[in-house]
Amino acid sequence: MTDQLHVTVWNEYRHERGTGKPAEVYPQGLHVPIANHLREQGMDVRTATLDEPEHGLTDDVLAQTDVLTWWGHAAHAEVSDAIVEKVHQRIVLGGMGLVVLHSGHFSKIFRRLMGTSCDLKWRDDGEKERIWVVEPGHPIAAGLPDHFEVPMAEMYGERFDIPQPDELIFISWFQGGEVFRSGCTFRRGKGRIFYFRPGHETFPIYYQPEVLRVITNGVRWVAPDADTPPLRYGRHEALEG
Ligand code: ZN
């Protein structure tokens, strides 16, 4: 793609406005280091948060967004169904890409796209996570070693109740013994979706170079393909007489 990518980094942005650890780790919100990094890669990036009008996802913003990234946790239920519907249409019919991060697994938009509960096991004890690249030739794994570690993470364990991913790119191992499908791709209609597990509001995971590299690669991979010809539907003339 030659045109600059237009990315909207969406964050619930509630934990970080409190007084605890999330505010210490991400004083401006965890969307800010993600957005800054994507800007440094040459993308045109805006941010949007839950408490803005229309959650920052107006019709204009959605129309101008090639790729949306999504982080939510405590307030999934407060995301308006009308906005979720618009985001869904923009992905499935419009081809907007979606990168879902960490606890975004329980967001309305991800559950709607998956059609399953998206439930999982979890334990927030600050354990080491070792992330294995199991599809090293995939563009989302570009530039990564064969594994990398997050020193302190919240554990997510299988089973992760998602449909079989189109591609499984990362598998995580946790200190406590569990494993998890940490990097999964899906296609829904015209849209591409990438789920990436790492990231929790109390750990500085969104400053870690490997994690930011994966997010960058993921954004590029889910971006709509500008060369796709328009699709034709409806009555079709026979090709043979
Ligand atoms: Zn978490």
All structural domains of the chain, each given as residue ranges with its CATH number in brackets, are 6-116+183-222 (3.40.50.880)
Per-residue tokens: 35: 């957005």
The reported pLDDT for the residue numbered 103 is: 98
Q: Which tens digits make up the pLDDT trace of 190-229? A: 999 999 999 999 999 999 999 999 999 999 999 998 777 7
Ligand 1 centroid vs 235 CA: distance in angstroms?
49
Ligand 1 centroid vs 198 CA: distance in angstroms?
8
Ligand 1 centroid vs 103 CA: distance in angstroms?
5
Ligand 1 centroid vs 123 CA: distance in angstroms?
9
The predicted model scores a pTM of: 0.96
Count of H-run helices and E-run strands, the chain: 6, 9
Per-residue pLDDT, averaged over 117-137, amounts to 98
Return d(Cα 50, Cα 52) in angstroms, integer: 6
Q: Which tens digits make up the pLDDT trace of 136-180? A: 999 999 999 999 999 999 999 999 999 999 999 999 999 999 999
In the predicted model, is pLDDT for residue 1 greater than 70?
A: no
Per-residue pLDDT, averaged over 224-238, amounts to 85
Ligand 1 centroid vs 200 CA: distance in angstroms?
4
Ligand 1 centroid vs 202 CA: distance in angstroms?
8
